[in-house]
């Protein structure tokens, strides 16, 4: 079922809540510039395995309200906490892709791993999406400024270009159209402001604060969030496991969905 939860500034965010009577809960956090529908192949899998699946449309994306502000990591991490508190979730497996993975890291760091028993990161945009001193991976700030400028002036073309970068294997035109349509539901201001957040925020200090078992699934051909991101996270979370996805780019949960789903299932049930 779908329903809304009020967050800190009285905006409403949409939740898709499947199999709500199940004992164990997985909470899915999507990445930029997507919404919860991108987890279609997980939401068709895990409820049949006996899990409650709660998938969020972050503020400004999908069917959630579209406030003009609040697109920094702290504000969106607070939104995640509000969902957990309102739904009275406990011992949650938190799953985040790309920017959603970065938000999960900030949430666990800021709230001391509150109510989360396990973390799964799929191609996370962390520790830094942009290059900086002693961090030669990811985009340059100038490249991200170009994305922001294109978002303001020709957002459909930007999203079309980004869609192609997400996939390593051949992807059918209808799949790319579906992906683009999901991206276009986001507000223009959320799209550009989240790009600025990805450009300016880092998680080097947050990652060591994660104290729950962590599974990292990352496409070795990822050009949006290079594989070195996953290697860094794996080295800096004490109880973590890294599984390389050999035939995936940034959308491994689509390109190698069977492997991703089964590895998450094994991880939760360990």
Catalytic residues: 98, 222, 250
Rounded Cα–Cα distance for residues 228 and 137 (Å): 7
Dig out the tokens for 218 from the structure: 């990352």
Torsion angle (degrees, nearest 10) of CA 31, 37, 39, 45: 170
What residues contact 200, with CB distance under 8 A and at least 6 apart? none
SS3 39: helix
For strand 116-122 and strand 92-97, is the pairing parallel, antiparallel, or unpaired? parallel
Rounded Cα–Cα distance for residues 184 and 108 (Å): 29
Q: Which of 19, 74, 31 is nearest to 56 (CA)?
A: 31
Rounded Cα–Cα distance for residues 52 and 115 (Å): 15
Rounded Cα–Cα distance for residues 79 and 190 (Å): 15
SS3 119: strand
SS3 43: helix
Whether 47 and 53 have beta carbons less than 8 Å apart is answered as yes
Q: Quick check: bond before 75 cis, omega within 30? A: no
Q: Quick check: bond before 52 cis, omega within 30? A: no
């Amino acid at each position: 079922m779908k329903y809304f939860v009020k967050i800190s500034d009285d905006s409403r965010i949409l939740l898709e809540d499947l199999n709500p009577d199940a004992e164990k809960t997985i909470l899915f956090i999507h990445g930029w510039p997507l919404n919860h529908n991108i987890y279609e192949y997980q939401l068709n899998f895990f409820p049949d395995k006996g899990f409650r699946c709660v998938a969020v449309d972050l503020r400004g994306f999908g069917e959630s309200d579209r406030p003009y502000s609040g697109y920094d990591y702290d504000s969106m991490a607070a939104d995640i906490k509000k969902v957990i508190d309102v739904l009275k979730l406990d011992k949650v497996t938190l799953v985040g892709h790309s920017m959603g993975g970065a938000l999960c890291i900030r949430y666990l760091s800021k709230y001391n791993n509150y109510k989360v028993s396990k973390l799964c990161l799929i191609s996370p945009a962390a520790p830094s999406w942009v290059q900086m001193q002693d961090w030669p991976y990811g985009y340059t700030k100038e490249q991200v400024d170009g994305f922001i400028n294109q978002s303001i002036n020709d957002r459909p073309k930007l999203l079309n270009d980004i869609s192609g970068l997400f996939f390593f294997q051949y992807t059918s035109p209808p799949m790319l159209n579906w992906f683009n349509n999901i991206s276009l539901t986001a507000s223009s201001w959320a799209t550009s402001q989240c790009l600025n957040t990805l450009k300016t925020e880092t998680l080097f200090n947050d990652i060591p604060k994660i104290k729950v078992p962590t599974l990292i699934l990352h496409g070795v051909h990822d050009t949006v969030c290079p594989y070195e991101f996953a290697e860094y996270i794996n080295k800096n979370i004490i109880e973590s496991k890294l599984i390389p996805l050999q035939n995936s780019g940034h959308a491994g949960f689509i390109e190698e969905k069977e492997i991703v789903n089964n590895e998450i299932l094994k991880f939760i049930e360990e």
